Structure 1
Amino acid sequence: MFEYFEKVTQLINTIAAAETKNIEKAAEWVSEVIIADQIIHAFGSGHSHIIGMELFTRAGGLANVNTILDDLVLATSGARRGAAIERVSGLADILWDKYKISSSDIMIIISNGGRNAMPIEMAMRAKKEGLKVIAITSLTQSQSYPSRHASGKRLCDVADLVIDNHVPSGDGLMEAQGKLVGPASSIAGMLLVNTITTEAMKIASAKGAKLPIYHSQNIDGYSNEELYQKYEDRITHL
């Protein structure tokens, strides 16, 4: 067995044991949004945006997902630029105004460190607008360092529901030459968002809701065009 396989398996087992109630609560909240045909917004900057992207236009995933995919949260314009931008206050409001977000929607914010201004202010704005906010973060990492926001708050202090990804500080599960290697926050985050949404689908289906699920576009006989047309007025990047 590879060491990384073993470490990830241990992490998954830890998450399953420690976060069951929080995952169940998150799934219930998301199921309510599915039933009401509202939108699940996902936000993450830096590598955390990969987890939001996992939910977006995903085969086997929900169509009522709006992932915030602005250049401000991506590393495509430069890694150092992206790392600096997520620490800048005031940008979350600019992003917010680009998207169509309703108070009946829900916001999932992913930030492993939970200390930078952008995800914290996105959570603050979402709560101000009346949305429930689910945070996926590493409490070990977040609580090891001070907030970079003027309020002194971290993401875990702002969100309505916090799900700990149980990733150690520094994001590495292993060591090589005395340095942390084997990052795990992306794997943990993808596991969590897929578990939340699939459990939410089961709840919503049991209550009679029609699930807006994308099919793989590589399987003949299926088309997602009806779903694209249904949500294109509410989801920016379709």
Structure 2
Amino acid sequence: MFEYVTKVQEQIQRIATSQKPQLEEAARWMARALVEDRIIHTFGTGHSHMIGLELFTRAGGLAPVNAVLDDLVLSTSGARRGAEVERISGLADVLWDKYDIRSGDLMLVISNSGRNAMPLEMALRARKEGLQVIAITSLEQSKQYPSRHPSGRKLYEVADLVIDNCVPSGDGLMHVDGNLTGPASSMSGILIVNTIATEAMKLAAAQGVKLPIYHSQNIDGYSNEELYRKYESRIKHL
């Protein structure tokens, strides 16, 4: 067995066991968003944006998902630039105004360290605007280092619900030649959001909701056009 595979299996079990109540609560919140025809917004900077992107226009995934996909949160304009930008206070409000985010929607904010300004301020703005906020973060790392925000607060301190991704400080599961490696936050985060989404689907279906799920466009006989038309006015990047 490969060491990384073994470590990831252990990581998955750690999350499933230790975060069970939080995952169940998050699924209930997401199910409520489906029942009430709300939008599920996802936000993350750097590699964390991939976790939100996993839910967006995904074959087998939910249609009412709006991922914040702006140059400010991506690395396409430069990895070092992105690392600096996520520390700048005030930019979350700039991004907010570019999207149709409404009171009663649900917001997922993903930040492994939870210490930078942009994710923190996105969570604060969302709560101010009447959204419930779920944070996915590494509590071990977040509690180990100081905030980079003027308030001194971190993401886990401002969210309504916190899911610990159980990732060790430094985001690695292995050591090779004295170096920490075997990244864990992306895999852990994707596991978490898909667990929440699938459990939410089951809860919403039990309440009689017709589930807005995308089908693979590479399988004949299915079309997602009805869902695209339904949500294109509310989701920026459709």
Class of the TM-score when normalised by the shorter of the 2 chains:
over 0.9
Q: What does 1:67-86 align with in structure 2 at a 5 Å threshold?
A: 67-86=67-86
Alpha-carbon shift at residue 100 of structure 1 (Å)? 0.2
1:33-82 per-position Cα deviation (integer Å, ceiling 9, x unaligned): 00011100000000000001000000000000000000000000000000
For the residue of structure 1 that corresponds to 2:150, the secondary structure is coil
Cα drift, residue 104 of structure 1: 1.2
Name the structure 1 match of 2:106. 106
Give the whole-Å Cα distance in 2 for the aligned partners of 1:148 and 1:122: 14
Query: Unmatched 5+ residue regions in structure 2?
Result: none
Residues 121-160 of structure 1 aligned to structure 2 (within 5 Å): 121-160=121-160
Amino acid across the alignment from 2:3: E
Alignment of 1:169-184 (within 5 A): 169-184=169-184
- Alpha-carbon deviations, 1:170-199, whole Å to 9, x = none? 001001121100001000000000000100
- Aligned equivalent of 1:234: 234
Secondary structure at the aligned position of 2:103 is classed as: coil
Q: Which residue does 1:192 correspond to in 2? A: 192
Q: Distance in 1 between matches of 2:37 and 2:222?
A: 22
Aligned to 1:4: 4
Counterpart Cα distance in 2 of 1:24 and 1:157:
20
Letter paired with 2:17: A
User: How far 1:28 moved relative to its partner?
Assistant: 0.2
Aligned letter for 1:152?
A: G
State the AA in 1 paired with 2:210: K
SS in 2 for 1:66: strand
Which one-letter code corresponds to 2:108 in the other structure? I
Residue in structure 1 matched with residue 164 of structure 2 by the alignment? 164
What SS is found at the alignment partner of 1:71?
Answer: coil
The aligned amino acid for 2:120 is I
Name the CA distance, whole Å, in 2 between partners of 1:208 and 1:171: 40
1:21 lines up with 2:21 in the alignment: yes
- TM-score, normalised via structure 2 length: 1.00
Q: What's 1:115 paired with?
A: 115
Segments of 4+ moved more than 4 angstroms = none
How much does 1:167 deviate?
0.4
Give the match for residue 59 of structure 1: 59
Aligned residue-pair number: 238
TM-score, normalised to structure 1's length?
1.00
Q: Which runs of 5+ in 1 are unaligned?
A: none
Q: Distance in 2 between matches of 1:7 and 1:64?
A: 33
How far 1:95 sits from its partner (Å)? Answer: 0.2
Distance in 2 (CA, whole Å) between partners of 1:101 and 1:14 is 33
After TM superposition, give the deviation of residue 92 of structure 1 in Å.
Answer: 0.1
CA distance in structure 1 between the aligned counterparts of 2:201 and 2:32, rounded to whole angstroms? 10
Distance (Å, rounded) in 1 between the aligned partners of 2:226 and 2:209:
17
Equivalent in the alignment of 1:46: 46
CA–CA separation in structure 2 for the residues paired with 1:159 and 1:174:
30
SS in 2 for 1:52: helix
- RMSD between superposed Cα atoms in Å: 0.4
Indicate the percent of aligned positions where both proteins have the same amino acid: 69
* Separation of aligned partners in 1, 2:17 and 2:221: 40
